[in-house]
Structure 1
Amino acid sequence: MTQKFTFDLQATDGQARTGVISTPRGDIRTPAFMPVGTAATVKAMLPESVAATGADILLGNTYHLMLRPTAERIDRLGGLHKFMNWDKPILTDSGGFQVMSLAGLRKMSEEGVKFSSHIDGSKHMLTPERSMEIQKLLGSDIVMCFDECPALPATDAEVSKSMQMSMRWAQRSRDAFGDRPGHALFGIQQGGVTQDLRAESAEKLREIGFDGYAVGGLAVGEGQEAMFGVLDYAPDMLPTDRPRYLMGVGKPDDIVGAVARGIDMMDCVLPSRSGRTGQLFTRNGVINIKNARHADDPRPLDEACTCPACSNYSRAYLHHVFRSQEMISGMLLTWHNLHYFQELMSDMRAAIAVGAFEAFQKKFHEDRAAGDIEPL
């Protein structure tokens, strides 16, 4: 059992990388996909089911947890891991992104962000120092700097101003985080889709020094082409010997494209949210279980998938429970999606390890282009 936070880069294939992040709570195999447990739960899943899909780490949400049940209460009850019955690593975001998306309910200054709770209207102040305090109370293994994520499109001047403030907040986050062996602090690169602003941000973060680095401010509506455009250079601006985390991504083809460009970690609500709304990810693309074509289909969603939904239930049954709004629907469909995402990560790790990532990518795109099996 390691007592430190370390990153061991084990193999590269082109820009793609595979390795292991070691933490006192266990190892995280990279590239890693982190299911999102916003309010101390991955919706519709038991923690042991999430672990069974192959997840090594979960993401918790500072903004939601500070409002309800509060970080102080979670701390009194033994910390987030104990509270939610998850003994593996947890990464917490800083709360910055959620607060920024409250447009009408927030007021920003150099100090931080004043905002009204979306739950009861109560007033709160989130600063770099308070964000570090909350994440410490939660007991998270990987803590994120408090930053501002500007909504795109924005002018270069707006993005630059925002990035500069995020870098000042990064220094304050670093100072407030202090020395916490076994816990990691990640800095967040900003700069929108402008290369020299990204370079300036990366340089500042390297000067401050972090345990890992995130590429922030993407997957906010700029489109895949623009995102990949940034990822063609942004990861290379960050230290090679530290994990690189792309925040809030995403769809399977976004994930594969990001890994191809040197990203080690990702998170997204997509697999769980899509599961609850009847959208399923498979090797052959996306299936909508609502569609009438599945009503009489005795076949599994994906015959090659070993998740409980595919192993034990027909498309007809999954269609029926979804249409009937039965609780088991969200449970089975979310489990399938999370299983698919973790299998995708596992396949990529294996391909990179043997230098076959290009062949993997080709097959991934071919399978998806083939589409779903013919209706009966």
Structure 2
Amino acid sequence: MLFNAYPLARPLLFALDAEAAHDLTLRNLARAHRLGITRCAGPTPLAPTTLMGLRLKNPVGLAAGLDKNGDYIDALGSLGFGFLEIGTVTPRAQPGNPKPRLFRLPEAEALINRLGFNNQGLPAFVANVQKSRFRREGGILGLNIGKNADTPLENAADDYVTCLEAVYPHADYVTVNVSSPNTKNLRSLQGGDELGQLLARITEARARLADIHGRRVPLAVKIAPDLDEGQIDAIADVLPSLGVDGVIATNTTLARDAVAHLRHGNETGGLSGRPVREKSLVVIERLRRRAGPDLAIIGVGGIFSAEDARAKIAAGANAVQIYTGLIYRGPGLVRDCVRGLAG
């Protein structure tokens, strides 16, 4: 059912509210994992690669946002991903934006979300990560951190450092999310000066934590697809200068030109899925040209096939992440992408 019959199940899921279907699917995936059903599909092909100094069994990862609280790490890890990214977590629990806040646009194979960093806060998040087996069994786990909605922008670095201190011992890498469109003014932190100041605080904390824990955890920054060339160049310059290891390109877009004519097409929030495919490729290509070969790039946005995954790698990405494609194509997409990249 999980790997071969998802097209049959999808109409039933799509008849439900999008967020309710999301929660139901994850609960059933966890149940299937406990019963051993996810193992029945057999092993995913190996396509080993190195990302930010981390050895991955394959370069296909899960994007942050699907499992915000780390409730489903082991179940998601059983789908064949080379790495998982969990979160975004904020220091304090927060409910996010009012419902409804997640919308499907099937004609465009897209989603619009304005969830707003809804999560249970750091203590619950860390507890879930600690009790999961995925990382102890060799899986690569990234933890995605953000700021609370009511934290003033001038104090944002305090929230990020608080999160970093809590998740550092339990992460293979940490992602700094400055690109969600659903936390007011968050994207302004992507500006050259603002980003440099924020990352200086975070990398200073990382150096201190590396001494305490005896290991250096890689840092990545997740950026938006709506940046102009000058902004992309500034990011490509500032990240290596501060010792940041990677960039995730990209988050959701605020553009609506591809979907404005569709039902829900003008809902506020971030648009993901197929309409972001080309936007993310442009950002990846620009980043790679400007930053050179050493900065790790994880390509995200509009991956619905092995061909889409290969396009991200060809543009300059070292690895890819999927989210919306998983909802439209089902878990078989993970293995299709791995096979395509292995070939």
TM-score (normalizing by structure 1): 0.52
Cα distance between partner residues in 1 of 2:314 and 2:191: 29
User: 2:298·2:317 contact (CA, 8 Å) conserved in 1?
Assistant: yes
Cα distance between partner residues in 2 of 1:237 and 1:51: 34
Q: Decide whether aligned partners of structure 1 residues 112 and 30 sit closer, same or farther in structure 2, where only a CA change above 3 A counts.
A: same
Cα distance between partner residues in 1 of 2:279 and 2:300: 15
Greater Cα radius of gyration, structure 1 or 2: 1
1:196 match? 230
Cα distance between partner residues in 2 of 1:171 and 1:269: 30
- Determine which of 232, 235, 255 is the counterpart of 2:288: 235
Q: Secondary structure at the match of 2:219?
A: strand
1:359 match? none
Q: Secondary structure at the match of 1:197?
A: helix
Q: Decide whether aligned partners of structure 1 residues 267 and 338 sit closer, same or farther in structure 2, where only a CA change above 3 A counts.
A: same
Cα distance between partner residues in 1 of 2:91 and 2:301: 18
1:32 match? 60
Cα distance between partner residues in 1 of 2:173 and 2:225: 23
- Determine which of 74, 77, 81 is the counterpart of 1:55: 81
Q: Decide whether aligned partners of structure 1 residues 348 and 73 sit closer, same or farther in structure 2, where only a CA change above 3 A counts.
A: closer
Q: Decide whether aligned partners of structure 1 residues 37 and 203 sit closer, same or farther in structure 2, where only a CA change above 3 A counts.
A: same
Partner AA of 2:206 in structure 1: F
Cα distance between partner residues in 2 of 1:226 and 1:112: 27
2:313 match? 259
TM-score (normalizing by structure 2): 0.57
CA deviation after TM superposition for structure 1 residue 342, in Å: 2.8
Cα distance between partner residues in 2 of 1:227 and 1:56: 21
| Ranges in structure 2 where 5+ consecutive residues have no aligned partner | 1-46, 94-118, 254-269
2:217 match? 183
Q: Secondary structure at the match of 2:247?
A: strand
CA deviation after TM superposition for structure 1 residue 218, in Å: 5.2
The 5 A counterparts of 1:1-376 are 19-21=49-51, 27-34=55-62, 36-42=66-72, 47=74, 50-63=76-89, 67=93, 70-72=121-123, 75=126, 80=129, 82-87=130-135, 88-95=139-146, 106=150, 108-112=152-156, 127-136=159-168, 139-149=170-180, 162-178=191-207, 179=210, 181=215, 183-188=217-222, 192-217=226-251, 219=253, 220-221=270-271, 223-247=276-300, 250-252=303-305, 254-272=308-326, 274=327, 279=328, 281=329, 337-350=330-343
Q: Secondary structure at the match of 1:233?
A: helix
Cα distance between partner residues in 2 of 1:66 and 1:89: 25
Q: Residue by residue, what CA displacement relative to the aligned partner does 1:239-292 show, whole Å, maximum 9, x if unpaired?
A: 4134212356543365343222111233343255x2xxxx4x2xxxxxxxxxxx
Q: Secondary structure at the match of 2:313?
A: helix
Cα distance between partner residues in 1 of 2:153 and 2:252: 23
Partner AA of 1:269 in structure 2: Y
2:107 match? none
CA deviation after TM superposition for structure 1 residue 198, in Å: 0.9
User: 2:89·2:145 contact (CA, 8 Å) conserved in 1?
Assistant: yes
User: 1:244·1:264 contact (CA, 8 Å) conserved in 2?
Assistant: yes
Q: CA RMSD in A?
A: 3.7
CA deviation after TM superposition for structure 1 residue 185, in Å: 1.6
Cα distance between partner residues in 1 of 2:191 and 2:67: 28
| Ranges in structure 1 where 5+ consecutive residues have no aligned partner | 1-16, 100-104, 114-125, 282-336, 351-376
